[in-house]
């Protein structure tokens, strides 16, 4: 119930609309209870030869036995020609109220859903890298799109019925007694018995729904993975394999859906049969005692009484399904970002004078330390090359600077202050990152270069592109800077993408630059252009470069050698080569000298 009340808390801002909707439902319920009255009028009219005559209502024998205060109704008499108009009138009023309440409730439901989706997306973008390193983009998409849709059913239609149907039941109870007297007891005795299976089946359904959502998330994950790695799938002839994997997940979804169908479709007949038993009991006794018009109204009332029960059982199913789905949504909303601003955080402004690692160690959530007691200090405008074997911890080391992760031990300082004191956005504004695999957005070249500084002028953007030696190939694109880059930048070559990334970094103009050089060799022409663009980018900045190029190493002011998470050597190319050790081995391996 905790989850459903959390869901309901989203309704608070819509109190006005909800109140209006509930009032309309009350109107609906009143009109609805008049249905049995119209039945009474019709049969009464038949009995009295075209006239409706009401004069005996309070004089029924069992009424007197109950010692109720007598309803001193005046006797009424009118022509049956009015009755059809009354019937239309009752249904018209009922329909209008139903429309108004359902419309308002549905709008509220849609607003709630929009709010949850917005909140979810905003929350997800705030979560830190440790959350995303677990992967499962498909799962996140599935929760934001699919799970939220399931929840929608629970807060729109279900909510209407959840309020309306109990009202109908409440209004029908006195009517059942009014028409049926003591026989009403017999008919209503079954009522609690109906609730038991409904609640049991509802709970089963909730669990099943959660499973369904999990499996659907697996479907999205599977699709996301296959399609983003489609070249690998094809290159290794794995289409059939992936298809079979997909079919296996899909079969699981099918099986769970089948189980849900058993409950959702079985519930209604079950409630119906139980209701029929109750009504049959009432008929058994009532048929001999009650006058025809009264008996017919009594039966109508009973049917009208059991109808909402059927609806409620369906509503319960829908609600349980949305609770199952919202569980997965709240699970995401409950995740807290690992990297947050401290309450007393300060803005990082002005010059960057020094970057210092002080006994910095890092361990990811799973696994041991990947960085151990790293100690070094970098002055402004120094170029620091980081070398080491694959898995030595180079990327992990530079990822600490923009606080993608925080060190598990030790401190990282900029200008002598712990990084964690700075407001995260102001810190990241000072850092530019160019990685091996450039991510380009599915939008124009302009916007891709200006990403992070969308307010930049066209001149500035072109300036940056020129400086990155990208202007020439951009001009050659179908619509130049306005060309929309295909998904994941497939329409551009590796070297071109890198130059766009360099242009992006140049436009941002950060004092600190992190560079993860591509290991793959570009062809000599674009290699030279990328190289020249990088040299421009590195000028007058504090640079941390994960070096794979000989030229980078030779130009570096200092080289840090990482080995299994430890800083084992540091110095210039010449001094390190003289020293020998890890660096010499790496150097010989990489540059074949």
- State the minimum distance, in angstroms, from the CB of residue 401 to Mg ion: 14
Among Mg ion, ligand ATP, none, partner that 388 touches (CB below 5 to 8 angstroms by kind) = ligand ATP
**Angle, vertex CA 239, rays to CA 237 and CA 241, nearest 5:** 100
Q: Looking up tokens 């923009």, which residue turns up?
A: 402
Least distance between ligand ATP and beta carbon 15 (Å): 45
Per partner kind, with CB cut-offs from 5 to 8 A, the member of Mg ion, ligand ATP, none near residue 32 is none
Q: How many CA atoms lie within 13 A of 237 on its CB side?
A: 0
Residue nearest to Mg ion (CB): 395
Min dist. Cβ of residue 355 to ligand ATP (A): 18
Q: Which of 332, 375, 308 is nearest to 131 (CA)?
A: 332
Structural Rg of the chain based on CA atoms: 37
386, 391, 392, 396: CA torsion to nearest 10: 70
The single residue listed with the structure tokens 């600190």 is: 512
3-state secondary structure 387-427: EECCCCCHHHHHHCCCCCCCCCEEEEEECCEEHHHECHHHH
Closer by beta carbon to ligand ATP, 275 or else 565: 565
DSSP category for residue 549: S
Q: How far apart are the first and last CA of the chain?
A: 70
Pick from 132, 168, 146, 223: nearest CA to 34: 168
**Are the C-beta atoms of 216 and 253 separated by less than 8 Å?**
yes
Interface pick for ligand ATP out of 9, 47, 79, 133 (rule CB under 6 A): 133
Using CB distances below 5 to 8 A depending on partner kind, what does residue 138 bind out of ligand ATP, Mg ion, none?
none
Instruction: Find, among 169, 188, 461, 418, the residue nearest to 315 by Cα.
Output: 169
Name residues contacting Mg ion, limited to 383-402 (CB under 5 A).
Answer: 395
Rounded to a whole number of angstroms, the minimum distance from the CB of residue 331 to ligand ATP is 21
Outline where 127-238 has alpha helix (H). 129-132, 137-142, 148-155, 157-180, 183-188, 191-228, 230-235
Whether the CB-CB separation of 324 and 209 falls below 8 Å is answered with yes
CB of 402 to Mg ion, least distance (A): 15
For residue 392, the partner it binds in Mg ion, ligand ATP, none, with Cβ less than 5 to 8 A by kind, is ligand ATP
Complex with ligand ATP: residue 187 or 586, whichever CB lies closer: 586
Measured between alpha carbons, how far is 11 from 514 in angstroms, rounded to an integer?
A: 46
Distance between CA atoms of residues 500 and 526, nearest Å: 13
When CB distances are held under 5 to 8 angstroms depending on the partner's kind, the choice from ligand ATP, Mg ion, none that residue 133 binds is: ligand ATP
Residue 45 is a binding residue for ligand ATP (CB under 6 A): no
Scanning the structure block, which residue is given the tokens 């099986």? Answer: 255
Judged by CB under 6 A, the stretch of 224-232, 297-305, 387-395, 447-455 that binds ligand ATP is: 387-395
Contact with ligand ATP (CB under 6 A) among 393, 407, 432, 511? 393
Q: Which is nearer to ligand ATP, 343 or 367 (by Cβ)?
A: 367
Q: By CB under 6 A, tell whether 396 contacts ligand ATP.
A: yes
- Give the single-character DSSP code of 346: B
Residue from 135, 182, 229, 391 that binds ligand ATP (CB under 6 A)? 391
Considering the complex, what minimum distance in angstroms separates the CB of residue 575 from ligand ATP?
Answer: 22
Residue 396's binding partner out of Mg ion, ligand ATP, none, with CB under 5 to 8 Å set by partner kind: ligand ATP
CA angle 508, 434, 483 (to 5 degrees): 70
- Give min distance, CB of 225 to ligand ATP, in A: 18
> Is the Cβ of residue 75 or residue 390 nearer to ligand ATP in the bound state?
390
Told to check if 573 binds Mg ion by CB under 5 A, we report no
Among 121, 200, 364, 441, binds ligand ATP (CB under 6 A): 364
By CB under 6 A, tell whether 370 contacts ligand ATP: yes
Place of tokens 């790293």: 374
The full DSSP string for 186-201 is HHHTTHHHHHHHHHHH
> Which CA distances in Å does 471 have to 64, 416, 490?
99, 40, 18
Per-residue b/e over 11-39, b at no fewer than 16 CB within 10 Å? beebeebbeebbebbbbbbebbbbbbbbb
Which residue among 392, 400, 414, 586 contacts ligand ATP (CB under 6 A)? 392
Is 297 or 396 the residue whose CB approaches ligand ATP more closely?
Answer: 396
The number of residues that bind ligand ATP (CB under 6 A) is 12
Q: Which does 370 bind (CB under 5 to 8 A by kind): ligand ATP, Mg ion, none?
A: ligand ATP
* Number of Cβ atoms within 10 Å of the Cβ of 442: 12
Q: Provide the minimum distance between the beta carbon of 547 and Mg ion in the complex, in angstroms, as a whole number.
A: 12
Site string (339-378) toward Mg ion, x via CB under 5 A: ----------------------------------------
Residue with tokens 């996301």: 224
Minimal distance in Å, beta carbon 127 to ligand ATP? 14
Decide: 502 and 518 in contact? Cβ < 8 Å.
no
- The only residue of 310, 311, 394, 541 in contact with ligand ATP, by rule CB under 6 A: 394
Q: Does 132 help bind ligand ATP (rule: CB under 6 A)?
A: no
Report, in Å, the least distance between residue 24 CB and ligand ATP: 54
- The residue (of 34 and 355) whose beta carbon lies closer to ligand ATP is 355
Task: Choose among ligand ATP, Mg ion, none what residue 558 binds, the Cβ cut-off being 5 to 8 Å by kind.
Answer: none
Helix 239-289 vs helix 191-228: crossing angle, to nearest 10: 170
Which x/- pattern, by CB under 6 A, does the window 320-359 give for ligand ATP? ----------------------------------------
Quote the tokens at residue 122. 């905003």
Kindly tell me which residue out of 334, 390, 479, 592 binds ligand ATP, with binding defined by CB under 6 A: 390
CB of 506 to ligand ATP, least distance (A): 24
**Binding stretches for Mg ion (CB under 5 A):** 395
- Chain positions contacting ligand ATP, by CB under 6 A: 133, 364, 367, 370, 388, 390-396
């Amino acid at each position: 119930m905790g989850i459903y009340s959390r869901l309901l808390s989203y309704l608070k801002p819509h109190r006005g609309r909800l109140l209006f909707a509930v009032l309309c439902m009350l109107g609906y319920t009143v009109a609805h209870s008049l249905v049995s009255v119209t039945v009474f009028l019709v049969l009464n009219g038949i009995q009295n030869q075209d006239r409706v005559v009401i004069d005996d209502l309070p004089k029924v024998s069992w009424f007197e036995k109950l010692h109720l205060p007598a309803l001193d109704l005046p006797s009424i008499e009118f022509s049956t020609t009015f009755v059809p108009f009354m019937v239309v009138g009752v249904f018209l009023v009922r329909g209008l109220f139903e429309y108004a309440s359902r419309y308002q409730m549905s709008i509220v439901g849609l607003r709630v859903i929009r709010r949850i989706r917005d909140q979810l997306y905003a929350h997800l973008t705030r979560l830190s890298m440790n959350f995303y390193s677990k992967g499962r983009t498909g799962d996140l998409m599935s929760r934001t799109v699919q799970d939220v849709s399931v929840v929608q059913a629970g807060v729109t239609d279900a909510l209407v019925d959840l309020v309306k149907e109990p009202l109908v039941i409440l209004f029908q109870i006195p009517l059942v007694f009014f028409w049926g007297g003591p026989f009403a007891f017999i008919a209503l005795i079954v009522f609690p018995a109906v609730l038991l299976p409904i609640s049991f089946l509802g709970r089963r359904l909730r669990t099943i729904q959660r499973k369904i959502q999990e499996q659907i998330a697996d479907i999205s994950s599977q699709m996301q993975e296959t399609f983003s790695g489609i070249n690998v799938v094809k290159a290794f002839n794995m289409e059939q394999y992936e298809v079979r994997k997909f079919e296996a997940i899909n079969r699981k979804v099918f099986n769970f859906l089948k189980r849900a169908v058993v409950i959702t479709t079985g519930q209604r007949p079950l409630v119906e049969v139980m209701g029929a038993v109750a009504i049959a009991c009432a008929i058994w006794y009532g048929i001999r005692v009650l006058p025809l018009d009264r008996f017919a109204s009594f039966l109508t009332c009973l049917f009208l009484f059991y109808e909402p029960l059927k609806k409620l059982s369906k509503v319960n199913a829908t609600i349980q399904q949305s609770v199952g789905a919202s569980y997965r949504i709240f699970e995401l909303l409950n995740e807290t970002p690992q990297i947050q601003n401290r309450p007393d955080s300060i803005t990082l402004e002005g010059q960057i004078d020094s970057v210092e690692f002080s006994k910095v160690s890092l361990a990811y959530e799973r696994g041991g330390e990947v960085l151990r007691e790293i100690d070094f200090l970098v002055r402004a405008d120094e170029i620091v090359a980081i070398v080491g074997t694959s898995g030595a911890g180079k990327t992990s080391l530079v990822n600490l600077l923009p606080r993608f992760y925080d060190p598990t031990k030790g401190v990282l300082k900029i200008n002598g202050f712990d990084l964690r004191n700075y407001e995260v956005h102001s810190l990241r504004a000072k850092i530019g990152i160019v990685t091996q695999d450039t991510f380009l957005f599915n939008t124009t070249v302009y916007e891709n270069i200006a990403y992070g500084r969308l307010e930049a002028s066209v001149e500035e953007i072109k300036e940056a592109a020129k400086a990155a030696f990208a202007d020439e190939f951009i001009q050659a694109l179908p619509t130049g800077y306005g060309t929309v880059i295909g998904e994941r930048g497939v329409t551009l070559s590796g070297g071109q993408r890198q130059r766009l990334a360099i242009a992006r970094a140049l436009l941002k103009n950060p004092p600190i630059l992190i560079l993860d050089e591509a290991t793959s060799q570009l062809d000599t022409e674009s290699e030279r252009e990328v190289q020249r663009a990088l040299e421009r980018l590195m000028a007058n900045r504090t640079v941390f470069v994960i070096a794979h190029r000989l030229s980078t190493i030779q130009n570096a002011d200092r080289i840090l050698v990482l080995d299994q998470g430890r800083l084992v050597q540091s110095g210039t190319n010449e001094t390190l080569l003289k020293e020998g050790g890890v660096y010499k081995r790496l150097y010989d391996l990489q540059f074949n000298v």
